[in-house]
Structure 1
Amino acid sequence: MADQDPADQIKELSSTLASVEAVVDLDAKRTEIAQLREQSADPELWNDQNNAQRVTRRLSHLESVVNKVEHIRQRLDDLSVLYELAAREEDSDTRAEADAELRSLREDIGQLEVQTLLNGPYDEREALVTINAQAGGIDAADWTQMLQRMYLRWAERHGYPTVVYDTSYAEEAGIKSTTFAVKAQFAYGTLRGEHGTHRLVRISPFDNQNRRQTSFAGVDVVPVVEHSDHIDVEENELRIDVFRSSGPGGQSVNTTDSAVRITHLPTGIVVSCQNEKSQIQNRATAMSVLQARLLERKRREEQAEIDELRGESASSWGTQMRNYVLHPYQTVKDVRTNVETGNTTAVLDGEIDAFIDAEIRWLRGVEGAGD
C-alpha cells in the first residue's frame, strides 16, 4: 500500500466513500433532518416527553452522520490539492503531512464503512453487558474481572459513558458476575458480536505450583429497552429480594438493605442492582435490566423460529468465540473471524476495535446469507 501512488490510493478511497454515501443515502437523510427540525421547533412537541426525546435523538444522530460523511469527503478533496502543492513546491514537510492525512482518512473511511452495517432493528440502542464467571474456579472469577476492565477501558477510549449496575464479588479474588451499561448510540450494534464464551489460558497466579490454567467467562450483550418496547411483565411473575450492597471479599459497603434482586419466575432470569443509593432507584434500574433481557430473549426466539422455517440450523456464534493465550506464547484470536494479534497487553487494556469491526462484518455476512 505504501508503494502505491497516492493518486491511486485517493481514487480507491473515493470509490469506497461513494459506496458508503450510496448506502447512507445522504439526500434522504437531509430530507428527514429538515422534517425533524420542523417537528423540534413545535413548542407542543415536549407535551409528549418520550416522543420529544425520540425526535431530538434521531435528529442528532442524522446530523452527526451527514456531517461526518460530508467532512470526510471534503478532507479527501483537500488531500489531492495538498499532494499537488507538495509536488509543485517540492516540500517534504507538506508531503509528510499529506501522507499522514492519507493514513488517517483510510482508517476513518474504513470505520465509516463498518458503521453503515449497523442497521439491525436494535443496533442503534445503548448496550447492557453482563459477564459471568464460568469454569475455572478462582481463575475464572479473576478472568471475569479482567474482561470487565477490558470493556470499560474500551468504552473510555471512545468517550462512551458507562454505569456499573451490579457486581457480585468472589470470595478470594475477582468477581462472579457484573452488569454494566454502555451509554452510547449504536453501542449494542457495535458490541453484540462480543456475545459468547471467552477463554483464557495462562499460568495461574493463584497456583503455588505455577501450573497452566484454562478458565472461561461468558459475555452477554443486550439492547437497552425504550418506552416504545412492549414487554409484558406481571407483578406475580416476579420475586423481589432486598439485601445489603457488598464489596470485595464480601465486605459491606452499605449499611441499609438498598440493593435489589429481581427473579423472573417464568424464565428464571435473575437481575440485581446495587449502584444506586435508594432501594426504589435500584428496583427501577433492575426492572430496566430485566426488560432488556426479556426483549433480547424475545428477539432470539423470533430469530430461531425464522431460522427453523428456513431449514437452517441454530446459529453457533453464541458459543466459544475468542481465545486469549498468555502462556506458553501470547496471542488473542477470534475463532469466527480469525482476527489475531500477539499484543495481548493492548487487547486487555481495551484495544479491541479490530476484533469488533471484523465481528460486525462477519455477523452481517452470517445474517445476510438467509435474506
Structure 2
Amino acid sequence: MIYLSLIDLPLDEAVKQQLVQSLNSYIESSGIVHKHDVENDRIELQHPTPEQIQKIIQNFDIIESVTSSAFTTIRPGEFNTVQRQFGFNIQNTDDDLPIVGIIDTGIAQQTALAPLIIDDTTFTLAGSPLIDQAGRNGLGHGTAVAGLVALGRLNHRNNFENEVTADARLLSIKISNNGSGYISEIDLLNMLYDVKAKYPEIRLFTLTTCYSSFMYKNETFSDYTYSLDKFAYETNSLIFICTGNNENCINENTSYDLSYFHGDHTNLSTPADSMNNVTIGAAADNLKDGAFLGIASGREFPTLYTRKGHIDLSVIYNPKKTNKNYFKPDVIESGGDMGYYNANTLDWMDEPALTLLSARPEIGIMQEVGTSFSAPLTANLAAKI
C-alpha cells in the first residue's frame, strides 16, 4: 500500500477541496484502486506503479508526504522441534470475564481456547477470523497471542497442567492470513471503530503487527500511529503494541552485547511509536523455572531482537533539558531468548524459547520467541485489573 498524506489548508478550504478533487480525478482516471480517509487527510493507493507514484508527486502540490507500509509480525527465526501435548480444559469459562480484541492472524477455534472465543466472524480483512494458519508449518500466530492474553503467565509456566483458569474472553480481529505483506490501515481503523460500536465494553486490544522497517532517530510520528492514538482517545481504549522484532540481530552478534542497541537499526517500528497506547519490548525470560539457557545476562535483561525508542531529545534540546518520563518501550515483558549454537554463533533454540499454544490441535504446543508474545502478556495483566 502507498499512503498520500495531504497538506491541511485551514485558511482556504475551497482551494484545498479543488486540489483534492483534481488529485482524486487523476487517480480514478489512472485506474488505481484507492480509498480516501477524509477525516485524517490521507489517500490509500493499492499497487500503483512507480511511474504513477512519481507522476503524482511531481504534479500535485497538495501532497505533503508519501509512505509505503509493509508489515510483518512473525518471529525473527525458526526452531528445530515442535512438541505434542494433550488438550486441557479451562475451569472458569462461565465467569463474567473482560473481552480483549486480538488484532492478528486469527484465533484457531479448534483449540482449548474455543470456550473463550466470541463466536463472531464479522471482523476480518483476510478470511475467517476463527482460522489461524500463520507461522511456520501453519502453527499459528494469533492463537498463541490469544492464549497469552487469556491464560497469562502462570498457566504457561505450568505448561497448562493442574487447574487452568482464564482471565479474559477473546474477540478475533483478523488483519492478515500469514502475518506479513500489506494491510489497509484505513480498513483496519474503520474495523476497530466497528468493533467498539458492536462491543462498547471492549477496552483492551493487542496489536502485534508492525512495519517491517525501523524508524530513524527522531523521525516524525506516522499518520498510522496518530490514527491509532486518536482511536484510543476517542473510544477510551488501550492497545498493547509490540516494538517489532529485529530479525538481523542473530547475524550481527556473536554474544550478548547491549551496545548493539546504539544503532538506529535497533529502533522500534511503526506503530510502536504510539503515545496514547502501550508499547512493549521483550525481556529474555521464557516463563520456565530452572536454569536460564538464553544468551542475555539474566532473565530480566532485554533480548537482542527487541527494539528501542527512536526519540533522542539530547539531539534537539540542551543536554540539561531532558524528559525522564518519555521512554520507549513502556514495558519489557517475557519474550524468550536465543541460545549459543557454538562459542561464536547464535541460534534460535527451543530451550530458551517460550512454550505457546499452537493453532493446530494435533500439535498442541510450540516453541517461539518475539515481542509479539511480550505484548499479550502485558495485556493479560491489564485484563486482571
Give me the TM-score of the superposition, normalised by structure 1: 0.26
> Whose radius of gyration is greater, 1 or 2?
1
Larger fraction in helix: 1
Give me the TM-score of the superposition, normalised by structure 2: 0.25
